[in-house]
Homo-oligomer: A and B are copies of this chain.
Amino acid sequence: MSDPLRQRILDELESIVLIDPHTHINPHSPASETLADILGYHYYTELAHSAGLERERIEQPGLDPKEKVGRLVEKLGELENTIQVSWLLEMCREFFDFQGDRVTTSNWEQLYDSAAAKMQEPDWEQQVLEKSGLEQVFLTNDFDDPLEGFDTARYIPCLRTDDLVFHLAKPDTRDRLTKASGVELKDAASLVSAIGRLFAHFVERDARACAISLPPEFAPVRVEATAAESAVQAVLSDRELSYDESRTLSCFVFWTLAEMCADHRLPFDLMIGVNRRVYEAGVFQGQDLFDMRTSLILYRELFNAFPQVTFPISVLGHTSNQELVSYSWIFPNVVTNGHWWYSNIPAYIELDCRSRLQAVPQTKQIGYYSDMYKLEFALPKFGMYRRILADVLARDFVIARSWSEDRAIELGRLVLRGNVERIFGRRG
């Protein structure tokens, strides 16, 4: 970042206070307690496992946090090229005054201890939020989350619905739904009622989005309650569903969610493209992959049926980005949302960011979210994104199109912050 133009733009972007529109933060324990909370992030455990560390050594029951970090550090050298390890170093430098170039078997213990000391300070959460320039954090809440005991003005509830759409055949899911909604499931209509209660509860507790992750082959279509009834009855009687029944039930619940989003004026975050448990011997949260052969054309009926619902869309595959750009360019209710998971590396962010800024209305782009499990990760992840964004603004707007720096910075502010406020803002 030695280029002065880029640096000036970056400085301005770094002064913007952020709202993080998608995370997995636990609002009852948002910050890390030891370095094990950081190195235990699946990005590190799965990469260490990929480089040869046995899952059993990472997930050993009762494993002491410090011992866990020690084991993972032994593999860090093999991963040090990855952008994920660069996040680790940036966190260690910014939060724990780490001075080294690498976390190694020689220096990790001191780092572990100084991090632990910092993390035990009573205002650690507040320190992290301030240092990261972070004002609000969107959560990912199970549908039966009571949403109590935390400040919903800082930690924004979002209703995560994967279980409802894909796991209703599990008795446990249905028990949780009955308990959370107070509605006894006896048919398709009561299932709709139960889901309606969840939405009412979430909205009352200031939820700002409904969200779901979807496999590459998912193709939502409208299913009427009558057409879903036999699949619902099958589930309720614990009969195993056929492939078609299972698909019908998923579509019925999914369509019901979209209707509820319309009724409650909630955006519906779609995270498209993940195949779950592809590598079943992998570490926790390190088992999922994808099939690039998917298309937003599968969502054609949905986008047409719900013009009043905003769909912030994340795609897992970099190869899906052009479709996302094009669908956002055409459909008023489709907006681009961040750089998700396997696409969240600079080589792909750069091209995806450029194409969005060149072809999607600037008001329809949510630049970035951290997807983090612990607060400390917002700093390096948004840092990575802001550096790329500064570079794109400098090259494609100030240099190539002769925009003023101020104007380029305003564009950056919009995709980083302004659009998050407006798109997820409460609408009366």
Contact = CB atoms under 8 A, between A and B. Distances in A.
B332 A322 contact: no
A29 interface: no
Given A322-B348, A331-B279, A348-B355, A364 B50 contact: yes
Interface stretch (A187-195, A244-252, A299-307): A299-307
Nearest to A330: B279
A50 B326 CA distance: 11
Interface string A298-341: 00100110010000000001111011011111111000000000
Interface string A54-95: 000000000000000000000000111111101000000000
A297 B52 CA distance: 22
A13 to B, nearest CB: 15
A46 B358 contact: no
B83 A332 contact: no
Contacts of A399: 1-2
B81 A357 contact: yes
Contacts of A46: 329-330
Contacts of A290: 297, 323, 326
A51 interface: yes
A83 B357 CA distance: 9
Interface string A252-289: 00000000000000000000000100111110001111
A331 to B, nearest CB: 6
A293 interface: yes
A236 interface: no
A319 to B, nearest CB: 5
A218 B279 CA distance: 19
A332 to B, nearest CB: 5
B300 A278 contact: yes
A180 interface: no
B358 A81 contact: yes
Nearest to A322: B318
A360 interface: yes
Contacts of A342: 322, 325-326, 329, 359
Interface class of chain A by DSSP: helix
Nearest to A332: B50
Interface in A355-413: 355, 357-364, 387, 396-397, 399-401, 403-404, 407, 411
Nearest to A396: B346
> What interface size band does chain A fall in?
35 or more
Nearest to A318: B322
B304 A295 contact: no
Contact of A323 (B49, B292, B303, B403): B292
Contacts of A355: 345, 347-348
Contacts of A294: 293
A114 interface: no
Among the interface residues A345, A396, A397, which one has the most CB atoms of the partner chain B within 10 A? Answer: A345
30 contacts: A1-B399, A1-B400, A47-B361, A50-B328, A51-B363, A78-B363, A79-B361, A81-B357, A81-B358, A81-B361, A82-B358, A82-B360, A82-B361, A82-B362, A101-B407, A275-B297, A282-B331, A286-B330, A288-B330, A289-B297, A289-B323, A289-B327, A292-B319, A292-B323, A318-B322, A319-B319, A319-B322, A342-B359, A345-B355, A347-B358
Given A49-B332, A345-B359, 12 more contacts: A50-B332, A50-B361, A52-B332, A78-B363, A79-B361, A81-B397, A278-B330, A279-B303, A289-B326, A289-B327, A292-B319, A347-B351
Interface of A: 1-2, 46-47, 49-52, 78-84, 86, 101, 275, 278-282, 286-297, 300, 303-304, 307, 317-320, 322-323, 325-332, 342-343, 345-348, 351, 354-355, 357-364, 387, 396-397, 399-401, 403-404, 407, 411
Which 8 residue pairs spanning A and B have beta carbons closest together? Answer: A347-B354, A51-B361, A291-B297, A347-B355, A81-B362, A291-B295, A326-B342, A345-B358
